Chain A
Amino acid sequence: MSETKLAPRDQGAPDYTKFLHPVMVDNYGEWDYHERIKPGVLVHVAKSGDKLFTVRAGSPRTMSADTVRIICEIADQHCEGFLRFTTRCNVEFMCREESEVEPLIATIGEKLGWPLGGTGPSVSNIAHTQGWLHCNLPGSDAAGSTKALMDDLIADFTQEDLPNRVHISSSCCQINCASHGDISIIVQHHHAPRIDHNNMQICELPKVVAICPAAAIRPKLVNGKESVEIVEEKCMYCGACHGQCPSMEIRDSETDTLSIWVGGKMSNARSAPTFMKLAVWGIPNTPPRWPEVSEAVKKILSAYKETGKPWERVGEWIDRIGWAKFFELTGFPFTRYHIDDGPEALSTLNRSAMVRL
């Protein structure tokens, strides 16, 4: 074992300048435009006339050291030893000659077999959370459900025939680490946490009380031990306390379900960024392949593909056609639970006489 240095070294972010493809170095800040050659293949053209071709492949995000080494072999063979990853966990191989693109694609197919796509108006790779593989809070497995869902949406990844790009995210609890998306899948709990009064003492109780957004947790002495109680009427089953204290178990394998949300958008293009909204709830949590999730997502995508106009993101499409039409096209029931009662609730009502009839 090597010598252990006790003092923190605080080295900071890696020196990215050593990790840039030579064409990136030569043209840093001097790019002119880009084009999509075909699904999964981009070309960026610099003011100098230099070109950089990018081949984008969908990755499973979780991989073995050996698979990482295969990625490196491909980049050594075709990309001068450089590569990058995207926000949505795609891997991008880059080369400077158009003639190198097809050999590169062939090598990716042969060595990795990963699909190419996620460019332009397509479904990109799913941003997802850790799940049962390694998280302490999950009610589901986002990595497995991502694999199953992308199997079902493969044609939407490898083709560019949607109105605009679709970002999907999938999270295993209400904390929702994968965040907003055009379509987003999250876990819902359906009752208050179960308190292990004999094990509450491992937690900082004032913090457990303070973290509750509904002020539903009160300190209480139980069997002579310091613990808490929950005001059931106030509790909204968010699980914030469970993240703070493992003795406040919120999950329930019998009753937890999934819900699907739509219309989240981070980009500022055309319309301001938006949060996602509830589309359908009560979907069963069914490993190993979650077929009910795929079925619901496909309903949304097929309605979007059929009636969306070019450049409209999912949220913009629904804004134009109206939510009544969205529920009609997807067949999802509209219920009283779709009407917001959170901090922004009143502003989400139709406060006008403008009604599609």
Chain B
Amino acid sequence: MGNDAKKMVMNTPMLDELESGPWPSFITDLKKYSEKRPVITQLLNQLNDSYETKWNYWQGKIINCSGYGGGIIARVSDKSDVYPDLANFHTVRVIEPPGWVYSTDALRNIADIAERNGAGIIQLHGMSGDILLLGFDDEGSLQCCEDLMNDGWDIGGSGAAMRTLQCCVGQARCEMACYDTMKTTKHITDTFIEYLHRPEFVYKCKFKLSGCGNDCANAIVRSDLPIIGTWRGPMEIKQSEVAAFIDKKGLDYVIDNVIARCPTNCISLKTATKEIEVDDANCVHCMHCLNVMPKALSPGKDKGVTILVGGHRTLKIGDTMSSVLVPFMKLETDEDLVKLTDFIDEVWEFWNDNGMDHERIGEFIHRIGMGNFLKGCGIEPDPRMIREPRTTSYIKFEELAPSRMEGEREQNPPVWNREPESSETM
């Protein structure tokens, strides 16, 4: 597709306004490229129509690669009478390399596959983390997927499935990273790849993985199950570098920007010796002091992760911020990784057995309560999961309720005892 597309005159007065200015213009790039792929002229003309009318001309449809239940985002144009080659103009999602690292061979391979089968438009990267390839007709989409798979790539997630994961650069290039985000991302992806390719959850489930609390992967609000690096015990301090930092920046700067900005006031400054002392038991691993003094301060030796749960953006019940599910877990050995995926499987089982259609994990927790969620998943409550205990006094204490009369049927079993409504599962 693309080469034999109907040739058309580029007429984009509105888009031309986006060709000036210092920021790189995707319009200029695509215009030039339209010489090679004439279908892009139709695409830009339609986009210009949208700019004129403030109206969108894309509808969705469903098309899948054999054996896959997602990954192709099919688009058909309402204006295919004017722009015939936009009648089918789909996106293929491709699982990106963890941390978005590439060899030029790999990236050229992606460019070649995109160009060979379609319009050759590439987005690095979509908000889901995937590589997005735009502009394939039905046949081109399927052939693109074939080519990708033949060259070792795989198709990304869409729909009520585990979605493509994304992670920060992690230990490949960051001193703050407390675990191997890339390896863990690959492990979760590969372990649960069937859930990514064949949507069978009540709704989507996203993971994002960050090596530390700075959360460069934007995990805490953009994923259902954020995994964030941390450590326990003392942080690493090079007192000579602390002294050097004080000499360079001055005491006032250190007091205002390190000591006073610690959220738990756990750092004290010894002005006489130009040293700092950290009350490690009270450190919440927020990363601020390490960010200010990366030469002097580093994460402690006993590293691991905090697993959170429930983040998602506003639809339907309003935003939910993830909250702590597992305060600390080691994630170093292959056994640790298996333990992690086993744990995820248990959380998923309870959610998928009891969640309603289109209910993200955060919304499910909102409906049934975190206490019930923990019980259902078989997780012990821990005070580090909460900001403060409850203030509502209406409580169903199971242990204190009178026992039911013999033979009385339990009319409304609590959610963690309830049989799944569907008996289709084996």
Contacts and interface: CB of A to CB of B under 8 A. Distances in A.
B319 A275 contact: yes
Interface in B67-99: 67-68, 73, 75, 89, 91, 95-99
B182 A87 contact: no
Contact of B124 (A29, A31, A63, A238): A63
B33 A84 contact: no
Interface string A250-288: 010100100000001011111101010000000001011
Contacts, number: 372
Interface string B258-298: 00011100000000000000000000111110011011001
A71 B292 CA distance: 32
B69 to A, nearest CB: 9
A198 interface: no
Contacts of A140: 54
A65 B67 contact: no
B343 interface: no
Contacts of B285: 268
Contact of B288 (A130, A136, A269): A269
Interface in B154-179: 154, 165-166, 168-169, 171-175, 177
Contacts of B27: 144, 147
B314 A174 contact: yes
A144 B18 CA distance: 7
Interface string A230-244: 000000001010010
Given A52-B173, A270-B263, A288 B15 contact: yes
Interface in B1-39: 14-15, 17-18, 20-27, 29-30, 32-33, 36
B135 to A, nearest CB: 9
A266 B215 contact: yes
A256 B217 CA distance: 31
A135 B56 contact: yes
B122 A147 contact: no
B56 to A, nearest CB: 5
A97 interface: no
Interface residues of B, number: 132
Given A24-B173, A64-B30, A65-B114, A251 B56 contact: yes
Contacts of A311: 257, 261, 288, 292
B222 A179 contact: yes
B54 A287 contact: yes
Contact of A273 (B50, B75, B175, B215): B215
B321 A81 contact: no
B134 interface: yes
B172 A147 contact: no
6 contacts: A13-B190, A16-B101, A32-B295, A34-B174, A151-B21, A267-B213
B180 to A, nearest CB: 7
B263 A87 contact: no
A268 B294 contact: no
Contacts of A343: 317-318, 366
A11 B154 contact: yes
A87 B318 CA distance: 24
A103 interface: no
B257 A59 contact: no
Contact of B107 (A9, A71, A246): A71
A16 B186 contact: yes
Contact of B29 (A63, A139, A271): A63
Interface string A98-128: 0000000000000011110000000000011
Interface in B85-142: 89, 91, 95-108, 110-112, 114-115, 120-127, 134, 142
Contact of B98 (A5, A16, A33, A270): A16
A60 B30 CA distance: 11
B124 A65 contact: no
3 tightest Cβ-Cβ pairs between the two chains A and B: A8-B67, A151-B21, A64-B33
A124 B100 CA distance: 17
Interface string A1-26: 11011111111111110111100100
B172 A67 contact: no
Contacts of A84: 99-102, 169
B377 interface: no
Given A132-B47, A342-B318, 19 more contacts: A2-B150, A8-B67, A10-B197, A14-B106, A58-B23, A63-B122, A65-B121, A68-B108, A94-B173, A130-B126, A147-B18, A177-B127, A179-B222, A240-B316, A253-B55, A267-B215, A273-B220, A287-B54, A288-B15
B224 interface: no
B403 interface: no
Interface centre among B95, B104, B110, B152 (most CB of A within 10 A): B104
A150 interface: yes
B25 A136 contact: no
Given A59-B124, A65-B115, A270-B286, A8 B171 contact: no
Contacts of A33: 175, 294-295, 298
Given A16-B98, A179-B313, A266-B219, A148 B104 contact: no
Interface string A319-357: 000000000000000000000001110000000000000
Contacts of A133: 43, 47, 134
A310 to B, nearest CB: 6
A243 B314 CA distance: 14
B221 interface: yes
B56 A28 contact: no
A208 to B, nearest CB: 11
Contact of B314 (A91, A138, A176): A176
Q: Which of B51, B173, B175, B194 has the most CB of A within 10 A?
A: B173
A6 B102 contact: no
B213 A268 contact: yes
Nearest to A256: B54
Contact of A13 (B73, B108, B185): B185
A311 B59 CA distance: 44
Nearest to A158: B22
B9 to A, nearest CB: 19
Contact of A82 (B58, B101, B147, B284): B101
